[in-house]
C-alpha cells in the first residue's frame, strides 16, 4: 500500500520534493564550503624574519623609509594600478585601515614601477586614505622576493615580518592577521 | 599574467577585450536565433542593463570604496561587474523590451539563453588572462602558476562548465520544449555554476560567517528556475 502511494507521486509533488531537495542541498553546500573566517591561509610563507628596510617616495616626492614606521602593525602592500586583483583588494584594505587605524595599524601601499601621476589619479579616483608610496625601481619587490602582484607583507610592532600573502587578500585574512598582531605588546 | 595590448598610448587589458568580444558575439547569436526584429533592441537593452546592473551591484558590495566616490559607478572598468546581477538585469531588460514590442517574453528569453553559454566560455577564459577571479592555491597537476602560487585554473573550469551548458541547452532545444523552458534551464545551469565553482575563487566576496555571496545568488537562480519549471496544473476531469 505504501509502495503504491510512493509510486503515485504527481508531477506537482515530484517538483515540490525537487525544490525542497535543491534548497536543502544548496544551503548545505554553501555552509560546507563557506570561507573559514580565521583559518590560516595557505599562502603564508615567511615567519618572523626582521623587516627589510626599503626606501621609497610619497606621491609628493618626499623620501620615506619603511623602517621609520616601526612600532605599528604594518600591512606592506605591493601593487600596481594596472593589476586587476590589486585594485579589487583595495576597498577591503581601505575598510580595514579605517577600522584598525586608531589601534595602531597602518597600510603602506607601495606601487611598483609606476609614475606618480598615474598612481595619484587612481588614489584620488578610488578614495584611498592610507599612505601610498612609489617604488619606481621595484626595490621593495626585490627585497621581499615578490615576483607577482599583489603581495602583502604583515609586519608586527616588533619590526618582524609575520606573514606574507601572495595574491589578493580577503577581508577575513586581513582581520585574522591584524587582530592578533594588534593584541601583541608594542616593540622597542 | 595580466597581458596588455599596447596600442599607442593605450594599455588595453586582454581580459576586458575578451569580455567585449564575448558581448558582441552573444548579441549576434541572440539576434540570429530569435529571428525577430525586436531582438536587436532587446540585445542592446540587455547589454546596457547587464553593464549597469552588474556595476551597481559590484559598487554596493564594495561600498566603502564606491560610496566614497560615486563617480566610480560610471568608471570604465570592465572587470568590476557582478555577474549574477548582470545576468538578472539582462533577463529583465529582455522581458521588458519583449512586452514593449508585443512579443512573448519567453521567445526572446529562450533565444538569449541559448546564445549565451559559448560567449560566456570565451569571457571566462578572459578572466584567466586578466588575472580576475584567481583560483585557490592547489597542488593538483593541472594548477596554473598565478599570483605567486599554483592555483586552480578557475577560468578554465568556468569555461568548460559553460561549454557543457551550451551542449545541454542545444540538446534540449532540439526537443522543442514549451516557451520559457530553455531560459529556465539556462538559469538553472547558471545557478549551479555559481554554486559549485565559487568556493574555488580566491577573491570571493563573503558575508556573515564566511558565506559566499555569489553562492547565495546561485541558489536564488536555482530556486527561481525551478519555480519557472513547475509542471503546469492539468484541468480537472470534466471541467
pLDDT tens-digit map of B194-228: 999 999 987 777 777 788 889 999 999 999 999 99
How far B82 CA sits from the closest chain A CA (Å)? 12
pLDDT of residue A122: 92
Please tell me which of the candidates A30, A126, A148 has its beta carbon nearest to residue B148. Answer: A148
State the nearest Cα–Cα gap between A187 and chain B, in angstroms: 30
Triad A161, B149, A47: Cα angle to 5°:
20
Cα–Cα distance for residue pair A156/A163, rounded to 1 Å: 9
* pLDDT above 50 (res B90): yes
Give the closest of A22, A34, A126 to B209, CB-based.
A34
Residues B86, B161 contacting (CB under 8 angstroms): no
* B209: contact with A, CB 8 A cutoff: yes
Closest residue by Cα to residue B42 from B27, B57, B20, B61: B27
Residue of chain A with shortest Cα separation from B61: A91
Is residue A153 classed as helix, strand or coil in its secondary structure? Answer: strand
B200 vs A contacts (CB less than 8 Å): none
Q: Note whether A30 contacts B211, CB cutoff 8 Å.
A: yes
- Record: contact A150-B147, CB cut-off 8 A: yes
Q: Nearest CA of chain B to the CA of A92: how many Å? A: 8
What's the grid cell of residue B129? 588572462
Rg of chain B over Cα atoms, rounded to whole angstroms, equals 19
First to last CA, chain B: 66
CB atoms A19 and B223 under 8 Å:
yes
pLDDT, tens digit, 9 for 90 and up, residues B102-115? 999 999 999 999 99
Task: Choose between A180 and B90: higher pLDDT.
Answer: B90
List the single residue in B65, B137, B230 with the smallest CB-CB distance to A94: B65
Contact A43 B216 (CB under 8 A): no
Q: Grade residue A162 by pLDDT with cuts at 50, 70 and 90.
A: confident
User: Which three cell numbers mark A59?
Assistant: 606621491
Contacts of A170 in chain B (CB under 8 A): 202-204, 206
Phi, psi of A42 (to 5 degrees): -70, -20
Q: What pLDDT, on the 0 to 100 scale, is given for residue A40? A: 46
For the cut 60, the answer to whether the pLDDT of residue A125 exceeds it is yes
- DSSP label at residue A113: S
For the record, the C-alpha cell of A36 comes out as 573559514
Pairing of strands A132-135, A105-112: parallel
- Which of A146-150, A162-166, A172-176, B190-194 is predicted with the least confidence, judged by mean pLDDT? A146-150
**How distant, in Å, are the alpha carbons of B31, B83, B90, B93, B124 from that of B120?**
16, 11, 14, 18, 6
User: Which residue in B11, B148, B203 is closest to A151 by CB distance?
Assistant: B148
**Mean of the pLDDT values across residues A40-65?**
72
User: pLDDT tens digits for B7-47?
Assistant: 555 555 666 788 889 999 999 999 999 999 999 999 999 99
Backbone angles phi, psi at B19, to 5 degrees: -65, -40
pLDDT for A44? 42
Q: Length of chain B, please?
A: 239
Q: How many residues does chain A have?
A: 188
As a whole number of angstroms, the distance between CA A74 and CA A154 comes to 6
User: What is the separation of C-alpha B6 from the centre of its chain, rounded to a whole number of angstroms?
Assistant: 28
8 Å CB contact of A94 and B64: yes
* Grid-cell match 595590448, residue found: B5
| ∠ Cα B210 B214 B216 (to 5°) | 75
Taking CA–CA distances from A21, the nearest residue in chain B reads: B223
**Taking CB atoms and an 8 Å cutoff, what residues of chain B touch A33?**
198-199, 212, 215
- B162/B167 Cα distance (integer angstroms): 9
Q: C-alpha grid cell for residue A141?
A: 619587490
Angle at B167 between CA B163 and CA B170, to 5 degrees: 135
Task: Among A19, A33, A167, select the one facing B147 at the smallest CB separation.
Answer: A167
Q: Does B231 touch chain A (CB under 8 A)?
A: yes
Residue of B nearest to A15 (CA): B230
Angle of helix B105-115 relative to helix B38-61, nearest 10 degrees, comes to: 70
Facing residue for B215 by CB, picked from A30, A43, A168: A30
Amino acid at each position: 500500500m505504501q509502495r503504491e502511494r510512493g509510486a503515485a507521486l504527481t508531477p506537482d509533488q515530484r517538483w515540490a520534493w525537487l525544490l525542497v531537495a535543491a534548497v536543502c542541498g544548496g544551503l548545505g553546500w554553501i555552509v560546507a564550503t563557506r570561507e573559514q573566517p580565521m583559518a590560516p591561509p595557505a599562502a603564508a610563507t615567511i615567519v618572523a624574519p626582521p623587516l627589510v628596510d626599503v626606501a621609497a617616495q610619497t606621491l609628493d616626492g618626499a623620501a620615506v623609509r619603511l623602517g621609520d614606521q616601526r612600532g605599528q602593525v604594518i600591512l606592506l602592500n605591493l601593487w600596481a594600478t594596472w593589476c586587476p586583483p590589486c585594485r579589487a583588494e583595495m576597498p577591503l584594505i581601505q575598510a580595514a585601515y579605517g577600522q584598525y587605524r586608531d589601534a595602531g595599524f597602518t597600510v603602506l601601499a607601495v606601487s611598483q614601477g609606476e609614475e606618480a601621476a598615474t598612481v595619484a589619479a587612481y588614489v584620488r579616483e578610488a578614495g584611498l586614505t592610507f599612505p601610498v608610496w612609489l617604488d619606481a625601481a621595484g626595490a621593495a619587490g626585490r627585497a621581499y622576493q615578490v615576483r607577482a602582484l599583489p603581495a602583502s607583507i604583515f609586519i608586527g610592532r616588533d619590526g618582524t615580518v609575520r606573514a606574507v600573502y601572495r595574491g589578493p587578500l580577503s577581508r577575513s585574512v586581513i582581520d585574522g592577521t591584524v587582530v592578533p598582531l594588534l593584541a601583541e605588546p608594542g616593540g622597542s | 599574467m595580466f597581458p596588455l595590448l599596447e596600442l599607442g598610448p593605450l594599455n588595453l587589458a586582454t581580459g576586458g577585450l575578451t569580455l567585449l568580444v564575448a558581448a558582441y558575439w552573444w548579441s549576434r547569436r541572440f539576434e540570429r536565433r530569435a529571428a525577430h526584429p525586436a531582438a536587436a533592441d532587446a540585445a542592446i537593452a540587455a547589454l546596457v542593463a547587464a553593464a549597469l546592473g552588474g556595476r551597481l551591484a559590484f559598487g554596493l558590495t564594495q561600498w566603502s570604496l564606491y560610496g566614497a566616490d560615486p563617480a566610480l559607478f560610471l568608471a570604465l572598468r570592465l572587470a568590476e561587474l557582478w555577474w549574477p546581477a548582470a545576468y538578472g538585469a539582462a533577463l529583465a531588460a529582455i522581458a521588458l523590451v519583449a512586452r514593449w514590442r508585443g512579443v512573448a517574453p519567453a521567445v526572446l528569453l529562450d533565444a538569449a539563453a541559448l546564445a549565451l553559454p559559448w560567449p560566456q566560455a570565451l569571457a571566462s577564459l578572459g578572466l584567466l588572462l586578466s588575472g580576475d577571479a584567481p583560483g585557490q592555491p592547489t597542488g593538483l597537476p593541472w594548477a596554473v602558476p598565478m599570483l605567486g602560487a599554483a592555483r586552480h585554473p578557475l577560468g578554465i573550469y568556468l569555461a568548460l562548465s559553460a561549454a557543457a551548458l551550451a551542449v545541454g541547452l542545444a540538446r534540449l532545444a532540439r526537443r522543442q520544449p514549451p516557451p520559457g523552458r530553455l531560459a529556465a534551464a539556462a538559469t538553472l545551469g547558471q545557478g549551479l555554476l555559481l554554486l559549485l565553482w565559487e568556493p574555488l575563487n580566491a577573491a570571493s566576496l563573503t558575508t556573515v560567517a564566511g558565506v559566499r555571496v555569489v553562492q547565495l545568488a546561485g541558489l536564488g537562480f536555482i530556486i527561481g528556475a525551478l519555480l519557472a519549471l513547475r509542471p503546469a496544473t492539468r484541468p480537472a476531469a470534466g471541467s
